[in-house]
Amino acid sequence: MKQTCQTGPASSESQKKKLRRKRAAQALAAGVAIAGGTQAYAVPVAHVNPPGAEHFDWGGAVGEPNWLLDILAPANVQPPGATAPGVFLHTNTVPSNVAGGGMDDMLQLDATYGIFAAGVDAGTIIPSGLPLGSQGYVQFYGYSDLPEGQQTYLGVRFDLGSGDQYGWIGVVRTGPDLDAFAWGYETDPGVPIEAGALVPEPGSLAMLAVGAAAMARRRRRSAE
């Protein structure tokens, strides 16, 4: 049976219905994007610090020069002792502290004293509402807001010249030592980021955290 292409009123009505459905779908998509705000265009980046020989040793041993952590870069290109955009400094002395690498680099602090680095749980939206400062103690005369031997996330804010950007550094504290197992940031200025975004599943991340804590303990023993 030969088929013919229908071009009459019925076909025209069908095309109109398709156009209305298309426009409705486009309007719905636009509504979702508006409801989500700038987060609809967020592009988070994360870097995992691998265990073993490729691990970036943030802080070095006690008494060694300060090390810098550039949250924009992966572990294998971290420049120890060099200044880079969006850096956060870990001073491995007593009292131990982390500090912003510049006037615009800020770290989330505890809400009570405002001088101790404060960690947040994975999934917390940064900024989380905690105060921000250019320096926060990891440990001061035995006191710390960071849990011992457990993974937590430091919320950070930095400005590369286009406005405030947010990021996080996943850390494990062992006494006055602090080591990073992962870090990440949001590429768009003004857009919050979820702590631990894009990192491996919790089990894999826990193994990295344990490895980082073990390395910190070895560093401390070798320096004694």
Question: What would the mean pLDDT of 85-96 be, rounded to a whole number?
Answer: 63
Question: What would the mean pLDDT of 171-190 be, rounded to a whole number?
Answer: 90
The model's pTM: 0.70
Return the closest-CA partner of residue 90 out of 119, 115, 70: 70
* pLDDT, tens digit, 9 for 90 and up, residues 156-175: 998 888 899 999 999 998 88
Cis peptide before 127 (omega within 30 of 0): yes
* pLDDT, tens digit, 9 for 90 and up, residues 204-213: 555 555 555 5
Return the closest-CA partner of residue 115 out of 125, 130, 101: 130
> pLDDT tier at 54 (50, 70, 90 boundaries)?
confident
Amino acid 27: pLDDT: 38
> pLDDT tier at 65 (50, 70, 90 boundaries)?
very low
* pLDDT, tens digit, 9 for 90 and up, residues 2-40: 433 344 445 556 655 555 555 544 433 333 332 333 344
Displacement of CA 210 from its chain's centroid (Å)? 19
Write down the residue that tokens 């592009």 correspond to.
43
> pLDDT tier at 219 (50, 70, 90 boundaries)?
low
- 57 bridge partner residues: none
**In the chain, what are the domain boundaries?**
1-40, 42-223
Q: Which amino acid is at 167?
A: G
Strands 151-159, 135-139: parallel, antiparallel or unpaired by DSSP?
unpaired
Ramachandran assignment for 18, one of left (phi > 0), alpha (psi -120 to 50 degrees), beta (any other)? alpha
Cβ-contact 67, 60 below 8 angstroms: yes
Q: Which residue has the higher pLDDT, 29 or 113?
A: 113
Amino acid 130: pLDDT: 95
Supply 180's token pair.
């990073």
Give the whole-angstrom CA distance, residue 189 versus residue 157. 10
Q: Which amino acid is at 12?
A: S
Supply 107's token pair.
């770290």
Q: Which residue has the higher pLDDT, 200 or 165?
A: 165
Percent of the chain exceeding pLDDT 70 equals 58
Question: What would the mean pLDDT of 180-202 be, rounded to a whole number?
Answer: 88
